[in-house]
A and B are shown apart, each in its own frame.
Chain A
Amino acid sequence: MIRKTVADVSVALEGIQSGMTLMLGGFGLCGIPENLIKAIASSPFKDFTCISANVGTDDFGLGLLIKEKKVKTMIGSYVGENSEFERQMLANEMEVILTPMGTLAEKCRAAQMGIPAFYTPAGFGTEVAQNKEVRTFHSKNYILEEAYQADFSLIKAWKGDSAGNLIFRGTAKNFNAIMSGAATITVAEVEELVEVGELDPNQIHTPGIFVDRIFQGASYEKKIEKLTFSNP
């Protein structure tokens, strides 16, 4: 077996440098790599290009990197619910590239799967299509979108083993499963790290080949952005 376990978050982030492109898993605050984000927020590195569906909140998730003014370019899809992000965007302190959610997901998956580009109908006829190649297949119009190229992919899973095999839980699978193996180095933090043999191979969502480093995260907060309940 090929061992992917690293001692802690600092070893997991070895090699990270200012100006790099980072993929960050999660949707809203669901399934975000909490430990990796906190470690980068308190590191000296900055000027990152971040690829993530959303931008966290003012005091959690990707919002922690934004608060520390570490994000130079944000590539995301829905960027509401973070007032400091809004301030930096409106003050032109940060470049923001808005991307249709499905296109963003597929640009990650394409990077993971070795597909350099793909055609999608999303955004045809809109400002998203500006300066992009258009082709018609079966009388429907598509635009060419390229796979992302990133230095680090930072993801979070529920369980993992020392070979890097991952199991996600609920809707926390989101971008984590498709960002694994989509960058030069993939780092996975998990709530529970076990030895090989303890996870059922039938139940693995992401095979260890897509993961370079794995560690068990400490004290997960798993904050909820919008608590909604049914009436009793």
Chain B
Amino acid sequence: MPLTKEEIAKRIAQELHHGYYVNLGIGIPTLVANFVPQALQVEFQSENGLLGVGPFPMKGAEDADLINASKETVGTLPSSSFFDTATSFGMIRGRHIHLTVLGAMQVDQEGDIANWKIPGKLVKGMGGAMDLVASAKKIIVAMMHTDRKGNSKLKVKCTLPLTGVGCVNQIVTDLAVIEITPQGFCLKERASGVEVDQIIRATEGKLIVPDIVPEIQWV
């Protein structure tokens, strides 16, 4: 069975480590926060200017001066801090953020990513995505393996306008966990019941397939 969006987020949560500062993009990445093991000390950053993003407020406790980068009302934690947006991107550019998780339209075998613009369609802007992919220590992309028409999103070369070059480390899709190596995509894990052949067929770029590809384990 291919993974649900929640399961993709749950698998990515396994990549969190003690002491990590993490930036989550919108969409599937946001769900990662729901799967953080209780004992793990991690802190989420919102690039508009909040470190230590808390849960959404209870009704009546919302505050117009307290939003996340998706402009949603959020809460704080006892460890939270506020700062201006230049300081926030200093945390990102200065590589103080350990992990960035974001969505994508395409990723290619060299680690290039396209996630902000489709020519001929309405463009809403790149927001912080270009800064994040250019600077994070580790970048994980959360996305479906293929688009709605069945085209592979794991390309030989991105065809859409790029967000960043040579920056993606890992991809978690509904079918597989894939690492990006100097030799191309490398298949590390597969979703339960998904055959390696299906992943090969759904991957346009060069895919290295080890002799044994374990199924994703839920710890």
Chain A residues in the interface with B (C-beta under 8 A): 27-31, 53, 76-81, 86, 90, 98, 100-103, 105-106, 108-109, 120-128, 158, 168-178, 222-230, 232
Name B73's closest neighbour in chain A (CB-CB). A228
Q: Contact at A126–B162, with CB atoms within 8 Å? A: yes
Q: Is B27 an interface residue, CB under 8 A from the partner?
A: no
Q: Is B88 an interface residue, CB under 8 A from the partner?
A: yes
Name A80's closest neighbour in chain B (CB-CB). B124
A28 to B48, CA, bound (A): 10
Q: Is B42 an interface residue, CB under 8 A from the partner?
A: no
A31 to B50, CA, bound (A): 14
Name B124's closest neighbour in chain A (CB-CB). A80
Number of chain B residues whose Cβ lies closer than 8 Å to a Cβ of chain A: 52
Within 8 A of A (CB), among B88-102: 88-89, 92-93
Q: Contact at A121–B128, with CB atoms within 8 Å? A: no
Name B65's closest neighbour in chain A (CB-CB). A170
Chain B residues with Cβ below 8 Å from A174 are: 48-49, 84-85
Chain A residues with Cβ below 8 Å from B84 are: 105, 109, 173-178
Chain B residues in the interface with A (C-beta under 8 A): 46-50, 55-59, 62-75, 82-86, 88-89, 92-93, 112, 122-131, 134-135, 161-166
Instruction: Pick the residue among B46, B68, B86, B126 that contacts A77 (CB under 8 A).
Output: B126
What would 9 more interface pairs be, CB under 8 Å, given A28-B71, A122-B130, A125-B112? A98-B126, A101-B89, A102-B92, A125-B162, A126-B162, A126-B164, A171-B65, A229-B57, A230-B75
A100 to B74, CA, bound (A): 24
B13 CB → nearest A CB, Å: 19
Chain A residues with Cβ below 8 Å from B166 are: 125
